[in-house]
Amino acid sequence: MIKQQFDQVTDRKGSGSMKWSVEQNELPMWVADMDFRCCDAIINALRKRVEHGIFGYSDIDEEWEASICDWWHKRHNWMMKKEWLLFCNGVIPIISSAIRRLTSCGDRIVTMTPVYHIFFHSIEHNGRFVCENELIYRNHQYEIDFEHLEKQLSDPRTTMMILCNPHNPIGKIWQKEELIKIGALCAKYHVTVISDEIHCDLVNPKCEYVPFASASELNAEISITCVAPTKTFNIAGIHTAAAIVPNESLRCQMRHALNDDEVAEPNVFALPAAIAAFREGEPWLEALREYITENKQLVTEALQDEEDIHVIEQQATYLMWIDCSKYVQTVSSFVIFCAVKPV
């Protein structure tokens, strides 16, 4: 049973783990890095690569492209072309390169908040301004403020929008209609969309995510989608990701941007790990999704009698977003990780 493997506790201290370089009894809750050992298929692929014994420069191979195209077709009903794919060693490097190449200093970049805080770094450290489109929080649910979004997109200084789909940290999967509406507004005001879809495979069983670029032809034309097996299969340290860019002109610019930033070449383990994940990782992922759902259920049940604490209903990620605003004045909520063995 794969699921039982998730009960195994591995001591990561002393393994060079950034997450676990902490003081005794300190719980590192800030980084999305699971404590589960990754699936055997990936470990075997890496072992095979190590045993080859020669670790020269690597090239992109067709099997990497095919494994991504097949996975998105089978699991997410999106037929992409292999030519659309560009390798990159991380999702954040794609976002930062896109910002540098496709926008100018002083431009405004829209993102819906609360959101993964590193988006702020990528924008601000490159001399652009964050334009926060605050999600509307009503009855313990989040919705998009489209009216405000249109105002922000119509500002001539706004040149890019960074979308998180599914959205970290609130765990929401955006609906096809919402994605079409965002795409139409961005196209109307000539705003390029970067859709960060790194959490797309970590959705609850029976929930389906819609890739932004698959929602309409217009969405595909104006967007760069960022994907990776790293969150899903717990291999962030291997540094393997992809930009999916259907529009040829945008793709050409992104190819140059990633090359200029020296983030377009895979290390020797990046492709074998990704290929093994997408070709053989599905049973492991199904077991993981069930395990995480049960963990979320445990937390929800433990908190259900707490009148002033509300677990936000969510369909994706292994994070939980819990409203504790009655207790904490400055920060309205905090995150809990469900990708650990329950105690």
Ligand X SMILES: Cc1ncc(COP(=O)(O)O)c(C=O)c1O
CA neighbor of 267 nearest in space, from 49, 35, 84, 91: 49
Q: Among all residues, whose Cβ is closest to ligand X? A: 90
298: tokens are 């445990």
Q: One-letter amino acid identity for 152?
A: Q
Query: CB-based contacts of 222: which residues, under 8 Å, 6+ apart?
Result: 183, 186, 187, 191, 192, 193, 247, 250
The Cα 125–Cα 88 span in angstroms is: 20
- Taking the complex as a whole, how short is the minimal distance between the CB of residue 139 and ligand X, in angstroms? 25
Q: For 243-258, give one letter per residue: b (16+ CB within 10 A) or e.
A: bbbbbeebbebbeebb
- Taking the complex as a whole, how short is the minimal distance between the CB of residue 67 and ligand X, in angstroms? 17
- Taking the complex as a whole, how short is the minimal distance between the CB of residue 307 and ligand X, in angstroms? 31
- Taking the complex as a whole, how short is the minimal distance between the CB of residue 221 and ligand X, in angstroms? 23
Cβ pair 120, 163 in contact under 8 A: no
Nearer to ligand X, 32 or 243 (CB): 32
3-class state of residue 13 by DSSP: coil
Nearer to ligand X, 110 or 241 (CB): 241
DSSP annotation of 206: T
Q: One-letter amino acid identity for 221?
A: E
- Taking the complex as a whole, how short is the minimal distance between the CB of residue 327 and ligand X, in angstroms? 25
Residue 156 backbone phi and psi in degrees, to 5: -60, -20
139: tokens are 């009855």
Give me Rg for the CA atoms of the chain.
Answer: 20
Nearer to ligand X, 98 or 187 (CB): 98
Nearer to ligand X, 187 or 201 (CB): 201
- Taking the complex as a whole, how short is the minimal distance between the CB of residue 118 and ligand X, in angstroms? 6
Nearer to ligand X, 187 or 233 (CB): 233
3-class state of residue 256 by DSSP: helix
Where on the chain is the footprint of ligand X (CB under 6 A)?
32, 90-92, 116, 164, 168, 196, 198, 228, 230, 236, 241
The Cα 274–Cα 157 span in angstroms is: 38
Does a cis peptide bond (omega within 30 degrees of 0) precede residue 93? no
The Cα 211–Cα 166 span in angstroms is: 9
- Taking the complex as a whole, how short is the minimal distance between the CB of residue 233 and ligand X, in angstroms? 12
Nearer to ligand X, 128 or 187 (CB): 128
Nearer to ligand X, 92 or 185 (CB): 92
128: tokens are 């652009």
- Taking the complex as a whole, how short is the minimal distance between the CB of residue 55 and ligand X, in angstroms? 22
Nearer to ligand X, 237 or 342 (CB): 237
Gap between the terminal Cα atoms of the chain: 20
- Taking the complex as a whole, how short is the minimal distance between the CB of residue 249 and ligand X, in angstroms? 25
Nearer to ligand X, 117 or 326 (CB): 117
